[in-house]
Structure 1
């Protein structure tokens, strides 16, 4: 079994040491993504902390049954978390100390949720972290969404464009990136002839007869092979 997958499975079973090791082993990945967002008005350390939250979310949500590299799945999660932070941070400036409290609160909340089997109360969270409840509430609220998703940000062709519309567009773009990365992972596992057949059928829009002529096989062989490849891909997805 792959080393990373084994650690993720242990993490999903509540092994905090396995999760900590995964974070440690992927520190370089987080920093690599953070570098893309330099000179955006935020400190590198802040971006790293936010990116680490994306990494933790990727660890918790990754499905080990998918035949996809963890890094392929984690990259858009980390990047998306940083983008949301930069978007929100542009609306209201939050002190570094409050950001650190909010970041720590996220980690502790995850830890207590697994340890106790329920969501910790705000008071329990504050006591565990050694901070005042009011300070914790302030930190969490400061990092929450501070603008209505329905606020009009500009008008185009007589129609109002809301913040929610722009966020949906961003999510769709990020989903498309993830889909392309997943597709590449799947196609890389096919043989040379299998990749050629899929390319001709679904990217070059060739008929099965045309594919057969190009590859030197019959239309029936193309049909059988195509069904076999699609079945294999569906099982991996």
Structure 2
């Protein structure tokens, strides 16, 4: 093995051979404080160390040895980084003197949630005020997504009657809904 004896060209060829694996491993690794290029360099250093430490009299494969060395070095770096981790609590005091939890923007809009709840309550109340036939046509059309023509056929009424029944039910709902806002 020429690279082990100090042949720089042979060592470069080995590093180039393992660069795709290093890049793939670096892309799926996140270590706080390290950039993508840093991880690639660490992987390349791992290859150099593996070449120097590999025992040519071993029975195992050199390729497997190097790939395991790269992976183990990334894992070791992750472990060391986790041990150095900082304490971060939502109740930590930040620079402006406020707690961290107080300055985190919320995507939840409480007002919108209350409005939707109120609208559902008004709609339920409005549905309760409809006659059985009106409830039936609203359910048929809006919840079962069936046509008025099918409703008219199923109930043995003319299409125009079905249209008027739906129209009357919607007017009642609208009046009940907007009358209470």
Q: TM-score w.r.t. structure 1 length? A: 0.32
Q: TM-score w.r.t. structure 2 length? A: 0.40
Q: Considering only CA atoms, is the larger Rg found in Structure 1 or Structure 2?
A: 2
